[in-house]
Amino acid sequence: MPTGVHLRDVRKQLFDAAERVLLRAGPNALTSRAVTTEADVAKGVLHRHFADFDDFLAELVRDRITRLADQAALLQAAAGTRTVAENVVDALIELFDPVSVALTGLIFFRDELRARLRRQTGLPVLTEARAMLSGYLSAEREQGRIAVDAEVDSLALSLIGAAHLLFAGRRRGTLPDHGELAKMVHTVLADVLQRRLL
């Protein structure tokens, strides 16, 4: 293993390597050795930048949550464009990319990781995803594109839960049928969408 190689952004290199391991072999294969081997760095490099492997994993998840904040801003800006259902379907496809699905499984099964990430109730990543959809649906409600009495938090929870089941139940790296996803979104939102926007 090269040890004298200058690394521009060690964290990014290690995070990218971890994501490749997750995509190729799943959460069970994600070890510090697998990550450093994939990143082509000495094992000590990871431990120079992170207290331990769970600290590395927590930072990997936080990096994903930061990306989710960027996606939330884009989704919020989309309020009033296209249809509500189209925006939600696209947001769910981006949200539940194969890495996010694998990370969710990792968070669920690693107690220490979950404990380090927990700031509130709920499962990290999915909790932020619910807030993202809730904020978007609130913006659409303000524009009159969904019913004024719509319970956006409950709708967001239903969308996240149903979508997670659709995406997590697939073979690694594959997406659910677009029609199946769109049907689920339309079903969840059917009672609150203004009829002209279906």
Cα four-point dihedral sign 84, 86, 87, 89: positive
pLDDT at 197: 43
Domains of the chain are 9-49 (1.10.10.60), 64-197 (1.10.357.10)
Q: How far apart are CA 128 and CA 91, in angstroms?
A: 13
User: What residue ranges of the chain have pLDDT lower than 70?
Assistant: 1-8, 119-122, 170-174, 194-198
pLDDT at 185: 96
pLDDT at 7: 45
Q: Which of 54, 53, 21, 51 is nearest to 35 (CA)?
A: 21
pLDDT at 174: 66
